[in-house]
Amino acid sequence: MAGLAASPRARANHQLLAPGAIAGQSGATPGFRLVDVTNAAGIQFRHHSGAYGGKLLPETLGSGCAFLDYDADGWQDMLLINGMDWPQHKRQRTTLRLYRNNRDGTFSDVTRRAGLDVEMYGMGVAVGDYNNDGFPDILVTCVGQNRLFRNTGKGAFTDVTHSSGLDGRLAFSTSALWFDYDRDGLLDLFVCNYVKWSAEHDVFCSLDGKHKSYCTPEAYRGETCWLFHNRGDGTFEDVTAKCGIFDTSSKSLGVAMLDYDRDGWPDLLVANDTQPNKLYRNQRNGTFKDVAVEAGIAFSAEGKARAGMGVDAADFDHSGLPGVAITNFDNEMIGLYRPAANGTYNDVAVQAGVGLASQNTLGFGCAFLDANLDGALDLVVANGHIDDTVRNIRGNVGYAQPPQIFLNNGQGKFQDVAASTGDGFIQPKVGRGLCYADFDRDGDLDILMTTNNGPAYLYRNDQQTGNHSIRFRLTGTKSNRDAIGAMVRVEHEGSTQERLVKGGSSYLSQSELPVTFGLGKRDKIDRVTIEWPSGKPEEYKSLAAGQSYDCIEGKGITPQGHF
């Protein structure tokens, strides 16, 4: 695209050292363990798909999870989304679950106290402070009517779906995210929709012509995604048509925010199932343009639309530009897209070591994070098939599948080291949602994973190498209070890392908003630069590692204690 390489951000970012300048060589030793602390933490949750034998399409896809600090105490809490029985086969009552962080490694179920013991066929979750009152609000995507819960600031939520103007729209919604697309300081809402489906019009599909099986998305018409503009008075305007994203051919499952062209305005990447992916470039006038085809990210390298599920975007190669990971169906491989300076992408999954390793897996949730704190972003993937009879069809593909952790060696190569991170993590499961946070505030990133019609898993990250990190929690004043869209750039001894404060990503899920940088053995950074969504940059020098810092737009930076 014309002008991409010439943008100020791009020029500044390309003045970096070679990739891996601070990354240690990982080899087969990950340098950390992932310990299953689900039971010890008091997490007792089981996703309910409502499956009764009717093989209804939504039963295969749920559900998501999120880390959020709902009570604003500085500790990350957890939200787990749930399905429900189909009305004609009602047997039990199920709701989502909100777990409050007790600050001692355990959590308490506060769902009822928080007013969230509401039954719905939930799919995904997006967390954002849309009214800038200091407390995060929750959007739950559903089969049917999505639900918006406003945080009262008193430990509870109020259902404002009707008063906000989001009601009256029935769909099969999946992933969603909050972002300030017009940079007016108010978070807007983007919602992915999958296909036009209802229980009454469920299509009969069969592998043998006799017994019903789950259909592929080709059996249904697509559905457009939605964009809602925040009016600032508690209500939203549907701007889907006039903003340029209306497209009824999409079958969207995942969405990630990124600054694709480095102009300071948020763009969106949508992962579509059996349809071309969409890259919505923000045209800075309230509209978007899909540039996925010319960017080389709409199709596989062979020119085919794959079954995109989850997606994340981050600068994993220290190029100063966001790369992309998209999980796909089995026999399609993960797409790992490395950016070029001219606004295009190349799928480097095979040569980077991710492609063949994901040949026989079906990926859903995925996230870039620095698992071993060596300064290079790794890739974590939740795997699991949609059909429990798949082994009978393809002998090399199972229903429950082990998750993967692709460790980045800093030189453009990844290696799956999941088997070396602990027996609990490598256990095969029907993985779906995936998100991360430093729930125990020890400076590394822990992982939360959901499974379809099964339990959720919380994995504590235990570092083994003594690597250091530094964390930043941002609060906007002129910008949206969550600072979603802010770019945080850390420099130390000639090397640079960056993180975009963003919601959404992965699959049906959302990770914490504070950003974490692995520093290897370094005990300080030379400089941190924050580019706020309002357009104003701030810079702070010589900060100590092993600490978390609060950054308030226009008011400075404050250390919050050592890990």
Nearest CA to 259 out of 201, 170, 197, 339 is that of 339
Name the helix (H) or strand (E) containing 271.
Answer: strand 267-272
Q: Which amino acid is at 18?
A: A
Q: What is the 3-state secondary structure (H, E, C) of 219-266?
A: HCCECCCEEEEECCCCCEEECCCCCCCCCCCCCEEEEEEECCCCCCCC
Place of tokens 């007016």: 184
Q: Say what the pLDDT of residue 16 is.
A: 35
User: CA 33 to CA 561: how far, in whole Å?
Assistant: 24
pLDDT at 100: 98
What is the rounded distance in angstroms from the CA atom of residue 528 to the CA atom of residue 501?
14
Q: Which two tokens stand for residue 357?
A: 């390793």
pLDDT surpassing 60 at residue 272: yes
pLDDT in tens, 72-88: 999 999 999 999 999 99
Q: Is the pLDDT of residue 18 over 90?
A: no
From edge to edge, which strands make up the β-sheet containing 446-451?
A: 32-36, 457-463, 446-451, 431-437
Instruction: Give burial (CB, 10 Å; 0-12/13-18/19+) of 555.
Output: exposed
> How would DSSP label each residue in 60-92?
GT---EEEE-TT-SSS-EEEE------GGG---
> How many C-beta neighbours within 10 Å does residue 147 have?
21
Task: Tell me how far apart the alpha carbons of residues 182 and 185 are, in angstroms, rounded to a whole number.
Answer: 8
In sequence order, the 6+-apart residues with CB closer than 8 A to the CB of 115 are 149, 156, 157, 158, 159
Q: What is the pLDDT of residue 393?
A: 56
Contact 172, 223 (CB under 8 A): yes
Report percent pLDDT > 70 for the chain. Answer: 94
Percent of the chain with pLDDT over 90: 88
Q: What is the DSSP string of 383-442?
A: EB-S-TTHHHH-TT--SBB--EEEEE-SSS-EEE-GGGS-HHHHS-B-EEEEEEE-TT-S
pTM: 0.94
- Candidate from 150-164, 388-402, 542-556 with smallest mean pLDDT: 388-402
Residues near 285 by beta carbon (within 8 Å), at least 6 away in sequence: none
* CA 358/CA 211 separation, integer angstroms: 30
User: Which residue matches tokens 């995904």?
Assistant: 124
Q: Is the separation of the CB atoms in 319 and 19 below 8 Å?
A: yes
Instruction: Give mean pLDDT, residues 395-415.
Output: 90
> What confidence category does residue 238 fall into, taking pLDDT thresholds of 50, 70 and 90?
very high
Q: Averaged over 21-35, what is the pLDDT?
A: 66
The pLDDT value recorded for residue 6 is 31
Q: Which two tokens stand for residue 241?
A: 């048509």
Looking at residues 362-381, what average pLDDT do you find?
Answer: 98
Section 297-325 average pLDDT: 96
Q: What per-residue confidence (pLDDT) applies to 390?
A: 59
Q: Distance between CA 317 and CA 532 in Å, rounded?
A: 23
- Whether 279 contacts 292, CB under 8 Å: yes
Q: How far apart are CA 278 and CA 246, in angstroms?
A: 11
Q: Is the pLDDT of residue 19 over 60?
A: no
pLDDT in tens, 133-184: 999 999 999 999 999 999 999 999 999 999 999 999 999 999 999 999 999 9
Question: Residue 8 has what DSSP assignment?
Answer: H
Q: Is 470 helix (H, G, I), strand (E, B) or coil?
A: strand
The yes-or-no verdict on residue 412 having pLDDT over 90 is: no
What are the C-alpha distances in Å from 330 to residues 270, 359, 362, 386, 431? 19, 6, 4, 10, 14
Are 67 and 510 within 8 A, CB to CB? yes
SS3 letters across 497-542: EEEECCCECECCCECCCCEEEEEECCCEEEEEEEECCCCCEEEEEE
Give the Cα separation of 218 and 305 in Å (integer): 12
Phi, psi of 166 (to 5 degrees): -95, 0
Instruction: Give residue 513's pLDDT band: very low, low, confident or very high (50, 70, 90).
Output: very high
Q: What is the per-residue pLDDT for 341?
A: 83
The contacts found for 207-212 with CB under 8 angstroms, 24 or more apart, are 207/389, 207/393, 212/54, 212/55
Six token digits for residue 19 = 């990739």
Average pLDDT over residues 302-327: 96
The torsion angles phi and psi of 266, rounded to 5 degrees, stand at -75, 135
